[in-house]
């Protein structure tokens, strides 16, 4: 395969994808519609191609990319499951996809009912009392949740609570969120088995504790059975507890943050509830709260008054508005279709997600190190530390070699607390044959690393481009075509 020319390089002056017939009605010249100072001095430098050239260009580009529609995508922490196409059809239904966010509530009763119903369902899944759909993604949900906690303390005149405790097994967004919301972050270490060190926690909680943010299952893919105790310790000190529920795919129908004593939780609908994601969205990170936090929820909420659904803006203690209009409503619509299709069988999603991750771990533990020797939840964390020490082949090399096998590499070098980490999340939508193919590839790479380490270190060998300078690509991406 050769590199693809840019669409600008394919441009030929005067070519058009679509030509419109000459107008047979009077046309107002653009100069009469737009003030002269706002008009371009010369035409925009757009590529000029025919329709088939445009289609071929973007189809060829898409073939150079990896997606879950192409092959296995075990990107740990991202839940790259297959998203049933019917959810797309629902999100595009005329009454859902083609309504305007400024339409009066009485003309979009169905959409308000969808939000209201989804709120009830997700409260049922999480054990919470109310939910907001404003946050656009997980990290945005975290910010919402932490602002709710802040407002709660403020409303009680409890102004000395400046610290948020975050276990070191939390997702990286947790400490970032707490800092962004103006709190001081206090990190608590994990025990060797990946659970939160309760004694260490007891030492840091106090009258300055605003709350604790817990990712459960943690970034090690492990469930912390002491969650309830952790909640109790923080509550006794007067703090509130935040549950990062982005990993809900592991526990649906089995465990609820609300029952574990948590006050606020966010979900990642684009992970667990089936919306295609990656490449920047859109997502949805609804936040569920217990009654004590309800007065502070973002405006507006959806309320049912008699048989009517209405927007409620009259919430004097609200933290305000966090997103335009209704949040990313299309993502909620997909999640609604997904939840409706599964019903109580949502539980099986978690069963198979956990089974698949443990299947992969059981086969690979003979070759790679384990982050913790326990059953994992929806993802397993391995390490190539021994391999690196023995033959100098690193996790990065293994990830690159996997590209030659046609699968997307797992998440690497995350979580940060595991050296040479390889974080594998197969998801429930993959069958045994796919898992076996992946396991075989990982074993083949392991053996190759021992026999011919250079072959692994110089991979990938079959992709269009080889190894990139990743720091340069991330820091100084060259994404803009500059016309002459
Ligand atoms: C993905 C993830 C997040 C962040 O979610 P975004 O939608 O990417 O902002 C937070 N916590 C955990 C545990 C996650 O897996």
Q: How far is the CA of 137 from the centre of ligand 1 (A)?
A: 8
pLDDT tens readout for residues 124-164: 999 999 999 999 999 999 999 999 999 999 999 998 999 99
C-beta 138 within 6 A of ligand 1 = yes
Query: How far apart, in whole angstroms, are the C-alpha atoms of residue 382 and residue 418?
Result: 8
Q: How far is the CA of 173 from the centre of ligand 1 (A)?
A: 7
C-beta 145 within 6 A of ligand 1 = no
Domain borders along the chain are: 7-62, 80-463
**Please, how many CA atoms are within 13 Å of residue 2, restricted to the half-sphere of its CB?**
3
Instruction: Kindly provide the residue ranges of all beta strands, DSSP E only, lying in 238-290, ordered along the sequence.
Output: 240-245, 264-267, 287-289
Q: How far is the CA of 174 from the centre of ligand 1 (A)?
A: 9
C-beta 139 within 6 A of ligand 1 = yes
Sheet of 411-412, strands arranged across: 369-370, 380-383, 421-424, 411-412
Q: What is the pLDDT of residue 470?
A: 84
Supply the mean pLDDT for the chain: 95
Q: What is the pLDDT of residue 1?
A: 52
The 3-state secondary structure of 95-151, one letter per residue: HHHCCCCCCCHHHCHHHHHHHHHHHHHHHHHHCCCEEECCCCCHHHHHHHHHHHHHH
**3-state DSSP helix/strand/coil % of the chain, to nearest 5:** 40, 10, 50
Q: What is the pLDDT of residue 3?
A: 78
Q: Indicate which atom in ligand 1 lies nearest the CA of residue 142.
A: 10
Please report where in the chains the tokens 């574990």 appear, as a residue. Answer: 260
Q: How far is the CA of 247 from the centre of ligand 1 (A)?
A: 8
Q: Are 338 and 274 in contact (CB under 8 A)?
A: yes
- Eight-class DSSP state of 460: -
3-state class (DSSP) for residue 375: coil
C-beta 285 within 6 A of ligand 1 = yes
Q: How far is the CA of 182 from the centre of ligand 1 (A)?
A: 20
Nearest residue by C-alpha to atom 8 in ligand 1? 138
The pTM score is: 0.92
Q: How far is the CA of 215 from the centre of ligand 1 (A)?
A: 10
Nearest residue by C-alpha to atom 14 in ligand 1? 246
Query: How far apart, in whole angstroms, are the C-alpha atoms of residue 111 and residue 92?
Result: 13
Helix (H) or strand (E) holding 215: strand 209-215
pLDDT tens readout for residues 12-37: 999 999 888 999 999 999 999 999 99
Q: Are 297 and 155 in contact (CB under 8 A)?
A: no
Query: How far apart, in whole angstroms, are the C-alpha atoms of residue 372 and residue 359?
Result: 15
CB atoms < 10 A from the CB of 453, how many? Answer: 16
Q: How far is the CA of 327 from the centre of ligand 1 (A)?
A: 17
Omega of the bond prior to 460 within 30 degrees of 0, cis? yes
Question: Among candidates 267, 387, 397, which has minimal Cα distance to 335?
Answer: 267
C-beta 169 within 6 A of ligand 1 = no
Fold of 80-463: 3.40.640
The 3-state secondary structure of 379-419, one letter per residue: CEEEECHHHHHHHCCCHHHHHHHHHCCCCCCCEECCCCCCC
Query: How far apart, in whole angstroms, are the C-alpha atoms of residue 327 and residue 335?
Result: 14
Helices (H), 308-404: 329-342, 346-364, 385-391, 395-403
Q: How far is the CA of 245 from the centre of ligand 1 (A)?
A: 9
Task: Out of 81, 139, 277, 424, give the residue to mutate to test ligand 1, the one with the largest number of ligand atoms within 8 Å of its CB.
Answer: 139
Q: What is the pLDDT of residue 480?
A: 86
Going by their DSSP bridges, the two strands 301-305 and 287-289 should be labelled as unpaired
Residues of the chain with pLDDT under 50: none
C-beta 248 within 6 A of ligand 1 = no
User: Is 129 exposed, middle or buried (CB count within 10 Å of its CB: 0-12, 13-18, 19+)?
Assistant: middle
**Please, how many CA atoms are within 13 Å of residue 371, restricted to the half-sphere of its CB?**
31
Nearest residue by C-alpha to atom 3 in ligand 1? 138
C-beta 423 within 6 A of ligand 1 = no
Q: How far is the CA of 425 from the centre of ligand 1 (A)?
A: 14
């Amino acid at each position: 395969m050769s590199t693809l020319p840019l669409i600008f390089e394919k441009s030929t002056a005067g070519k058009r994808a679509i030509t419109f017939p000459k107008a047979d009605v009077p046309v107002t010249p653009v100069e009469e519609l737009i003030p002269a100072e706002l008009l371009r001095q010369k035409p925009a430098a757009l590529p000029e191609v025919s329709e088939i050239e445009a289609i071929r260009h973007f189809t060829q580009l898409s073939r150079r990319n990896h997606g879950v529609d192409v092959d296995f995508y075990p990107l740990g922490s991202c839940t790259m499951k297959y998203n049933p196409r019917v959810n797309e059809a629902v999100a595009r239904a005329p009454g859902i996809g083609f309504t305007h966010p400024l339409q009066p509530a009485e003309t979009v009763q169905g959409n308000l009912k969808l939000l209201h119903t989804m709120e009830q369902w997700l409260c049922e899944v999480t054990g919470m009392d109310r939910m907001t759909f404003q946050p656009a993604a997980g990290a945005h949900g975290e910010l919402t949740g932490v602002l709710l906690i802040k407002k709660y303390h403020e409303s009680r005149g409890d102004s000395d609570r400046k610290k948020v405790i975050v276990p070191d097994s939390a997702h990286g967004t947790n400490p970032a969120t707490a800092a962004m919301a103006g709190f001081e972050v206090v990190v608590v270490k994990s025990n060797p088995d990946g659970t939160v060190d309760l004694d260490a926690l007891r030492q840091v909680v106090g009258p300055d504790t605003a709350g604790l943010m817990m990712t459960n299952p943690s970034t090690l893919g492990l469930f912390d059975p002491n969650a309830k105790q952790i909640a109790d310790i923080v509550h006794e000190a007067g703090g509130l507890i935040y549950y990062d529920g982005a990993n809900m795919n592991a526990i649906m129908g089995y465990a609820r943050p609300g029952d574990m004593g948590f006050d606020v939780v966010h979900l990642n609908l684009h992970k667990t509830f089936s919306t295609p994601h990656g490449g920047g969205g859109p997502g949805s990170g609804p936040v569920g709260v217990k009654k004590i936090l309800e007065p502070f929820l973002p405006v507006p909420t959806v309320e049912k008054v008699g048989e009517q659904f209405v927007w409620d803006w009259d919430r004097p203690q609200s933290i305000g508005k966090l997103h335009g209009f209704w949040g990313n409503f299309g993502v909620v619509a997909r999640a609604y279709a997904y939840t409706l299709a599964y019903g109580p069988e949502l539980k099986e999603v978690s069963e198979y997600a956990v089974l698949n991750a443990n299947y992969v771990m059981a086969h690979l533990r003979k070759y790679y190190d384990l982050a913790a020797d326990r059953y994992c939840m929806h993802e397993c964390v391995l390490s190539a530390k021994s391999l690196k020490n023995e033959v100098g082949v690193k996790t990065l090399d293994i990830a690159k070699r996997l590209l030659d096998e046609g699968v997307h590499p797992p998440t690497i070098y995350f979580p940060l607390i595991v050296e040479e980490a390889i974080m594998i999340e197969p998801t429930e939508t993959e069958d045994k044959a796919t898992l076996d193919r992946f396991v075989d590839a990982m074993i083949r790479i392991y053996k190759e690393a021992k026999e011919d380490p250079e072959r692994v270190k110089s991979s990938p060998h079959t992709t269009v481009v080889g190894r990139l300078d990743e720091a340069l690509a991330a820091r100084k991406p060259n994404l803009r075509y500059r016309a002459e």
